[in-house]
Amino acid sequence: MSLHELSLRELGEGLRAKKFSSRELTQHYLGRIGRHDPALNSYITVTADRALAQADAADARLAAGQGSALTGIPLAQKDIFCTSGVRTSCGSKMLDKFIAPYDATIVRKLDGAGMVMLGKANMDEFAMGSSNETSFYGPVKNPWDVERVPGGSSGGSVAAVAAGLAPVATATDTGGSIRQPAALTNLTGIKPTYGRVSRYGMIAFASSLDQAGVVARSAEDAAVVLQAMSGFDPLDSTSVERPVDDYVGALGASIRGLRIGLPKEYFAEGLDPGARACIEAAVKVFEGLGASVREVSLPNAPLSVPTYYVVAPAEASSNLARFDGVRYGHRAEGVHTLEELYKRSRGEGFGAEVQRRIMIGTYVLSHGYYDAYYLKAQKVRRLIYDDFRRAFGEVDLILGPTAQSVAIKLGDKSDDPVAMYLNDIYTIAANLAGIPAMSLPAGFHQDLPIGLQLMGNFFDEGRMLNAAHQYQQATDFHKRWPKGFA
């Protein structure tokens, strides 16, 4: 097997056994990026010199008998995380020349674990999008079909891992931006409980919804990295002070007796028959492993999309107000007044989708509309949370589709924002409730990947990851590679 086909555990074992060095492994991935990324556009910035320096440092640690299970293993960082001395663009012209002066907490944690940063992954501008077509640096292509989208906003992260241009990548999920692209590229992606992973140094889109996570080829790989990323951070006021469970150690447990709920609202009209068939086949696998399956109801789930597209733009309009051409970010030239500076800097620096969401958010927060829209959306958000709370009184995990269908063609929905927003119809509710959720490969339709979604109760990532791992022990979908990239 080639190096890029090995799991994180196998890579770690190979490094410690000196079958190959971190420098050799890093050079292998940098070589693949050079050969394959021009067709995919998964990276915004490749940090080759930094990566090789980190690899040499990792080799020195390993030679001294030190380091962790992740020491010497490369990764891609989504370009939403601040990385000291490296451009952090958030996929936007507004931050095209911004060099972060500090590291995000998860960057610092993964650096501390000895991981090697290959570069910064492409993404929808300010994480606003479901197809990775809103990036200032151009759309990312899906390795399974380069005429299709990889999903968004973490499209660069998933394309890099799916094509073997990184063994694992960080990502963020505000309304499904880890799970939906993972589903469309045959990967495992997990969004942990809100507050489980620090948001410090992650450029904010919607602060009450954003959560950092990971995309990998398997639940086992995701568990190893999530373990290193998680934990309380005093620098993040939304971080939860709670011990981190042993996600890796929990992977060997039987799921016999596990109670799985199927939300009837997720299997209604709109789900592609090919996707439905894959999910139904996956349910039988779980039953074969000893899990019990029953129907549950999330009656307010159909309200998730309109609720999200009031709450998220409202928070975005507040968060993005800091980009005004004065302190940092794009600054328009040849202006004569402060008002002109604001208008032109923001008009030139933000793309159409970001401007659209800022306008929506400003509108729903404005005098006369706050109660009618924003306050009402927050009340519905509570109802969605209550639905999950009741469901988890009956079952341990909730199972359903991640996306309505396979990946769409590039440009298919670019001119229809509402149709694009509906791509996240199955994923948004978990963000509104703050619960952990993940997507894992569940089969193929028309030779394109289909994803299965698992949702768990608060801080139940370990149980969720183990269920996914047991499913992957019984199936081989996650081991399949897109043609031309194996």
CATH top class, domain 3-254:
alpha beta
pLDDT digit string (tens) for 8-55? Answer: 999 999 999 999 999 999 999 999 999 999 999 999 999 999 999 999
In contact, 194 and 211? CB cutoff 8 Å: yes
Placement of tokens 């090697």 in the chain: 116
Identify residue 90 by its one-letter amino acid code.
Answer: C
Supply the pLDDT for residue 467.
98
10, 13, 17, 20: CA torsion to nearest 10: 50
In contact, 162 and 143? CB cutoff 8 Å: yes
Query: Quick one: which H or E segment has residue 62?
Result: helix 48-63
CA distance 49 to 52: 5
CA distance 451 to 441: 5
pLDDT digit string (tens) for 202-225? Answer: 999 999 999 999 999 999 999 999
- Residue boundaries of the structural domains of the chain: 3-254, 321-376
CA distance 347 to 11: 46
**pLDDT band for position 194 (50/70/90)?**
very high
Three-state SS for 329? coil
Residues 6+ apart with CB under 8 A from 231: 109, 197, 198, 244
In contact, 89 and 79? CB cutoff 8 Å: yes
Report whether pLDDT(435) > 90.
Answer: yes
Instruction: Provide the annotated active-site residues.
Output: 78, 153, 177
Angle at which helix 48-63 crosses helix 8-16, to 10 degrees, equals 60
Instruction: Give the phi and the psi of residue 444 in degrees, each rounded to 5.
Output: -135, 145
Q: What is the mean pLDDT of residues 333-339?
A: 94
DSSP assignment of 111-150 equals HHTT-EEEEEE--SGGG--SSS---TT-PPPBTTBTTB--
Report whether pLDDT(393) > 90.
Answer: yes
pLDDT digit string (tens) for 57-89? Answer: 999 999 999 999 999 999 999 999 999 999 999
**pLDDT band for position 486 (50/70/90)?**
confident
Q: DSSP assignment, residue 408? A: P
pLDDT digit string (tens) for 409-428? Answer: 999 988 888 778 888 999 99
Report whether pLDDT(297) > 90.
Answer: yes
Supply the pLDDT for residue 421.
82
Angle at which helix 219-229 crosses helix 105-112, to 10 degrees, equals 110
Supply the pLDDT for residue 449.
98
pLDDT digit string (tens) for 254-281? Answer: 999 999 999 999 998 889 999 999 999 9
Residues in the chain: 486
> Mean pLDDT, the chain, as a whole number?
96
